[in-house]
Chains A and B, each alone.
Chain A
């Protein structure tokens, strides 16, 4: 599957780079063998230039870019990791960690887009993995027809790394 890459420049001059690419790196070989013709696609988003607040216009374009890609690829499950290293501009100290902020933001974007476009057969699973002092987030976007595979992916995230 070819990587899908788009670069956007916002009206304020900020530049965003988004990549959707096949990524099985987080899954065990047992799950990969079960996928058959279904591709697991990861999302990587980076701001390449600018430090302005990301406006609704940019958010809407990112939502529609991902939604269009998903609509055009019937055998895709999107599975992405909310990263924690790059800070969120314009957030003060002592607020929630960046990965939690991203998880909430992306879940809200998914819900808003689904509501606005009357989408009922696509679901989002937000998997939060907790340690004593740390949290990690995976999001899985899938069609209802892929519910069983999504369950396997969730179980794999929970158990696969324990093996």
Chain B
């Protein structure tokens, strides 16, 4: 993500092998609120999966035994 490389004041970039680490510092309140909301939305979707499992809705779905 070369776009971050020139913005050294707020962004740090490290590259290790095939992995690139980008840190966005001092993100705005708006960005942080959005990030938090994405997490809450994801948790709710995962909770719905749990409810379906608990209600037996996956009983006809193949479960791979490891």
* A residues at B contact (CB < 8 Å): 5-11, 15, 17, 19, 25-26, 44, 46, 48-49, 57-58, 61, 81, 83-86, 99, 107, 110-111, 114-115, 119-120, 122-131, 134, 136, 150-151, 154-155, 157-158, 161-162
Contacts and interface: CB of A to CB of B under 8 A. Distances in A.
A14 to B, nearest CB: 10
Given A126-B21, A134-B32, A154-B1, 18 more contacts: A5-B61, A7-B61, A9-B63, A17-B53, A17-B58, A25-B38, A25-B41, A57-B66, A86-B43, A120-B18, A123-B20, A124-B20, A129-B24, A129-B32, A129-B35, A136-B32, A136-B36, A162-B30
A26 B42 CA distance: 11
Nearest to A114: B18
A105 to B, nearest CB: 13
Interface residues of B, number: 42
Interface of B: 1-4, 11, 17-32, 34-36, 38-43, 45-46, 49-50, 53, 58, 61-66
B64 A136 contact: no
A155 B43 CA distance: 25
A106 B25 CA distance: 22
A41 to B, nearest CB: 14
A86 B66 contact: no
Contacts of B32: 129, 131, 134, 136
B64 to A, nearest CB: 5
24 contacts: A6-B64, A7-B62, A7-B64, A8-B64, A19-B49, A61-B64, A83-B39, A85-B39, A107-B19, A110-B19, A111-B17, A115-B17, A123-B20, A124-B18, A124-B20, A125-B22, A127-B22, A129-B27, A136-B38, A151-B3, A154-B1, A154-B4, A157-B24, A161-B35
